[in-house]
Structure 1
Amino acid sequence: MEVHVRYEGDDDPDKCTARKLARFDLAELHRSDRATPYGVVLNPHAERALSPADAGTERLVALDCSWESAGEARFSLPGEHRALPYLVAANPVNFGRPMKLTTVEALAAALCIFGERDHAERLLSKFTWGETFLELNAEPLERYAACDDSADVVAVQREYLDRGDDPESGGGDDTGS
């Protein structure tokens, strides 16, 4: 599966996971919406949750921008927009915070849900904390990947929300990316 990133360039370039992926030829960066190819777009404001049913796509697309500027209007990219279910960040800036994923964490989560864990591991291998992301979210990622569709993913997520746990103990919080 091709990995693409709509790159805004408005965050710290030294901490930008999308730029690092591009340096290793693991993702293609695009500087405009028009240049960004059609695919499954990871969008925390999407009405549908990402699920294995979306795995038939050729391209996975993420928006790389600062959290301060990640408003709903920024997601005008062409494609099928999907929200990631609840996961916890492992990156040093937002470690342990729900839904504050870096671009590489979001892409890797989507690939895991699509059953492409090896691809996710390749992306995360460029980061010292990459394996920690998979460890922190092991159970929810496995459960989301076993779902049939978006409704099933939301139902699994709801179980975590109702329990009020974190992913390590089998729980979660809100939908987003």
Structure 2
Amino acid sequence: MKLFIYHEKQCDPKRCTALKMGKLNYASIITNVKKVPRNAILLNPYSEKTVSIEDRDIIEKYGILGLDCSWKQAEVVFKKTNAKNQRVLPFLIAANPVNYGKPCKLTTLEAIVATLYIANYKNEALSLLDGFKWANTFIEVNKELLEKYCGKTSEEIIRIQNEILNTTRNR
């Protein structure tokens, strides 16, 4: 599995899941935006299309690209790239020590794990958890959601997500 991370050097290197993924040889770290693979699935919280089973061919051929930057700078950083396969993740809950319990505030590791899981690469997703003490918690917290999204089309995932969010609001 080809995993790439464009790293903007805007975080605490001791807590950075992206850098640790690089050290563990789980992903290639890229620091020059011009070297970002254009055809990989780019995880972008501002994209209109959600990642889905429909992305398997792109993932197999070109890989997944995560952008590691400050949430405050994210919109600017995403505009720098010219990646053509940009995808958003559906509603998930962060389980990392910094943003635990916050909706959609995932680390780069959590985002890539979720992408692989949703595209039905569960074994590959779970193998990335090794080396991160808290990472299994991400799967535990989101197991029901990940299972609902896994193997579904983008359209189906949006429908499932909207049902979940409507049910949550009505409680």
TM-score, normalised relative to structure 1: 0.89
Stretches of structure 1 lacking an aligned partner (at least 5 in a row):
166-170, 172-177
Match of 2:77 in 1: 74
Does residue 12 of structure 1 match 2:15? no
Partner of 1:36: 36
Q: Which residue of 2 aligns with 1:152?
A: 156
Paired-residue identity, %: 37
1:145: Cα distance to partner? 0.9
CA drift of 1:153 comes to 0.6
Q: How high is the TM-score relative to the length of structure 2?
A: 0.92
CA–CA distance in structure 1, aligned partners of residues 24 and 51 of structure 2 = 26
**CA deviation digits over 1:8-30, x for unaligned, max 9?**
01110000000000001100011
Judging by fraction of residues, say which structure has more helix: 2
SS in 2 for 1:137: helix
In structure 2, stretches of 5+ residues that fail to align are none
> 1:151 aligns to what SS in structure 2?
helix
Q: 2:69·2:77 contact (CA, 8 Å) conserved in 1?
A: no
Runs ≥4 in structure 1, deviation > 3 angstroms? none
Amino acid at match of 1:23: K
Paired residues in the alignment total 164
- Quick check: 1:126 aligned with 2:131? yes
**Cα distance, 1:79 vs structure 2:** 3.0
Structure 2 counterpart SS, 1:81: strand
Aligned AA for 1:74? V
Pairwise mapping of residues 1-177 of structure 1 onto structure 2 (< 5 A)? 1-38=1-38, 39-57=40-58, 58=61, 59-71=63-75, 73-75=76-78, 76-77=80-81, 78-147=83-152, 149-164=153-168
Query: Superposition RMSD on alpha carbons, in Å?
Result: 1.4
Contact kept? 2:114, 2:146, Cα under 8 Å: yes
Give the C-alpha shift of residue 60 in structure 1. Answer: 0.4
SS in 1 for 2:34: coil
- Distance between the aligned counterparts of 1:2 and 1:102, measured in 2? 18
Q: Which amino acid aligns with 2:51?
A: L
- Match of residue 168 from structure 1: none
